[in-house]
């Protein structure tokens, strides 16, 4: 079983639209939406949730006023000014370091684990999908990314699937690192813009550092042919390979509005043909 992770150095490159199109083309796979901070694959794939689970991570101090002697030690020790004059913990300011819990002489501070979001196993018209929703302003999205990838792997093993198709988070931060570790290959979706090239360089440096084979596709290539040429030159001199380019196409937006992938919405368009061509090259590389 192989895992292909689709990433982009920045948001707005069309990563999820290409992921959706691949989901239409791939056989015997499990889908994994690891873009947990801003999941949007569900908008075009419309999952029907079969099971729902809490995502728990981190802890927050909670003072029990019946046990508290108001000695003030916790307030003096808290480096985050999270404890008020009347010994209430501000859950937003509390970083969960546990210092107050450890030093409270009355053992008056509880330290429950937080529920930060939910993850799901769903049926979709394109196959099983594992996805998640992180709570508002919650952190630890890297941990949730690892969790959904592990669950997708377990699901793929259980169902005898050949492939896990993972929609990774944008950027180059902790969630992206959590999404590419141990992947068989990544496909970086980029676009011909100054910020697109800048972020492509950063994401390729990351894949090289973690020794993950990287492929590149240039979306909306015809918006700036000069920058498309620059991307091709850059990738040619890197450890990665450019597999193809996809034209700018308002059909992608129309497909999204209809909750369809571009392959379902307009299978014979130039865009769909380009994506099929890239998918064939991805398969040749991932499965050989």
Q: What is the contact surface with ligand SF4 in residues (CB under 6 A)?
A: 61, 63, 68-74, 77-78, 80, 82-83, 87, 89, 94-100, 104-106, 108-109
Nearer to ligand SF4 by C-beta: 72 or 154? 72
d(CA 166, CA 99): 38
From 7, 5, 41, 35, select the one nearest 219 (Cα to Cα): 7
Nearer to ligand SF4 by C-beta: 81 or 288? 81
Q: Tell the smallest beta-carbon distance from residue 235 to ligand SF4 (Å).
A: 45
Q: Tell the smallest beta-carbon distance from residue 59 to ligand SF4 (Å).
A: 7
Nearer to ligand SF4 by C-beta: 51 or 66? 66
Q: Tell the smallest beta-carbon distance from residue 110 to ligand SF4 (Å).
A: 10
Helix (H) or strand (E) run with residue 228 in it: helix 225-236
Nearer to ligand SF4 by C-beta: 92 or 136? 92
Summarize the chain as % helix, strand, coil (round to 5).
Answer: 40, 25, 35
d(CA 159, CA 149): 15
Nearer to ligand SF4 by C-beta: 107 or 150? 107
Neighbours of 97 (CB within 10 A): 15
Q: Tell the smallest beta-carbon distance from residue 57 to ligand SF4 (Å).
A: 15
CA angle 113, 116, 122 (to 5 degrees): 125
Helices (H) and strands (E) in the chain, counts: 11, 11
Q: Tell the smallest beta-carbon distance from residue 145 to ligand SF4 (Å).
A: 25
Q: Tell the smallest beta-carbon distance from residue 140 to ligand SF4 (Å).
A: 16
The residue count for the chain: 288
From 155, 128, 138, 129, select the one nearest 38 (Cα to Cα): 138
Nearer to ligand SF4 by C-beta: 12 or 72? 72
């Amino acid at each position: 079983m192989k895992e292909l992770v689709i990433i982009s150095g920045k948001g707005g490159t069309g990563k999820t639209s290409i992921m959706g199109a691949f989901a239409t083309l791939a056989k015997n796979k499990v889908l994994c939406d690891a873009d947990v901070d801003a999941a949007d694959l569900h908008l075009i794939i419309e999952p029907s949730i079969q099971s729902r689970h809490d995502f728990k991570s981190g802890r927050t101090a909670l003072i029990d006023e019946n046990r508290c002697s108001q000695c003030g030690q916790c307030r003096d020790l808290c480096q985050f000014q999270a404890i008020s004059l009347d010994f209430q913990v501000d859950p937003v300011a509390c970083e969960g370091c546990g210092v107050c819990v450890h030093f409270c002489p009355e053992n008056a501070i509880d330290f429950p684990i937080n529920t930060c979001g939910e993850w799901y196993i769903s049926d979709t018209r394109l196959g099983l999908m594992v996805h998640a929703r992180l709570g508002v302003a919650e952190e630890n999205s890297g941990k949730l990314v690892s969790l959904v990838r592990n669950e997708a792997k377990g699901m793929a093993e259980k169902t005898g699937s050949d492939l896990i198709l993972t929609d990774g988070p944008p950027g180059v931060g902790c969630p992206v690192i959590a999404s590419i570790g141990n992947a068989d290959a990544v496909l970086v979706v980029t676009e011909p813009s100054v910020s697109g090239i800048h972020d492509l360089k950063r994401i390729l440096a990351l894949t090289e550092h973690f020794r993950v084979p990287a492929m590149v596709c240039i979306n909306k290539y015809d918006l700036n042919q000069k920058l498309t040429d620059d991307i091709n030159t850059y990738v040619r001199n890197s450890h990665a390979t450019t597999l193809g380019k996809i034209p700018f196409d308002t059909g992608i937006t129309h497909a999204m509005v209809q909750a369809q992938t571009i392959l379902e919405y307009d299978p014979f368009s130039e865009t769909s043909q380009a994506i099929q061509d890239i998918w064939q090259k991805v398969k040749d590389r991932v499965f050989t």
